[in-house]
Amino acid sequence: MSAVSELIRREDNGLISFGDHTLGAKAKLEDFDVDGNLYKVKTFKELTKLERDGMFVYESEPGTSVNDFEVTPEGVAFKVCGDEDAMITIGLKEDTEYGVTVAGKDMGRIRTNLGGKLSISVELEGKGEISVKVAE
């Protein structure tokens, strides 16, 4: 999987892809409209962050590239790649327990904090693209 050269784009399947973990300098794009929601992405090799309508959605340290990011009533699913292992934080419902699957492996159930954030560590170095699914 390659970086998203447009910083954020809507795919033919209606999902979004965002982030460019190969950038040496910070880049951002604001007010990217998807079905009436405005997205903002900030990305470079050290950080990737996504907001929707001013609300936190996704953050990774170091930066990642994300394809086919899908938000459902039950959670989120996406494919991610990066040059290094990453800590990914996702904005979900507050104080809710989610099942987490990374690269097809069940990582167990994790509860969000009172702000609705859920953090997971993913091994990306040398792996190419991996899938992540977080669902109630």
pLDDT exceeding 90 applies to what percent of the chain?
92
In a domain, 2, yes or no: no
Q: Is the pLDDT of residue 39 over 60?
A: yes
What is residue 2's predicted lDDT score, i.e. its pLDDT? 65
CATH number for the domain that contains residue 119 = 2.60.40
Q: Is the pLDDT of residue 3 over 90?
A: no
Q: What average pLDDT does this structure show over 3-14?
A: 89
Q: pLDDT confidence of 4, banded at 50, 70, 90?
A: confident
**Total tally of structural domains belonging to the chain:** 1
Q: Kindly state the greatest CA–CA separation across the chain.
A: 37
In a domain, 98, yes or no: yes
Residue appearing with tokens 């190969």: 22
Q: What average pLDDT does this structure show over 8-29?
A: 95
**What does the block give as tokens for 74?**
């039950």
In a domain, 22, yes or no: yes
Bridge partners (DSSP) listed for residue 106:
101
Q: What average pLDDT does this structure show over 56-82?
A: 96
Q: pLDDT confidence of 127, banded at 50, 70, 90?
A: confident
pTM of the model: 0.94
Per-chain mean pLDDT for the chain: 94
Q: Is the pLDDT of residue 6 over 80?
A: yes
What is residue 1's predicted lDDT score, i.e. its pLDDT? 52
What is residue 70's predicted lDDT score, i.e. its pLDDT? 96
**What is the domain range of residue 55?**
8-135
From residue 71, give the alpha-carbon distance in Å to each of 26, 112, 127: 26, 16, 24
Centre a 10 Å sphere on the Cβ of residue 82 and count the other Cβ atoms it contains.
Answer: 28
Omega before 73 within 30 of 0, i.e. cis: no
In one-letter notation, the amino acid at residue 123 is E
Write out pLDDT tens, residues 99-126.
999 999 999 999 999 999 999 999 998 8
In a domain, 3, yes or no: no
In a domain, 1, yes or no: no
Contact of 62 with 86, CB cutoff 8 Å: yes
Residue appearing with tokens 């405005």: 38
Contact of 130 with 80, CB cutoff 8 Å: yes
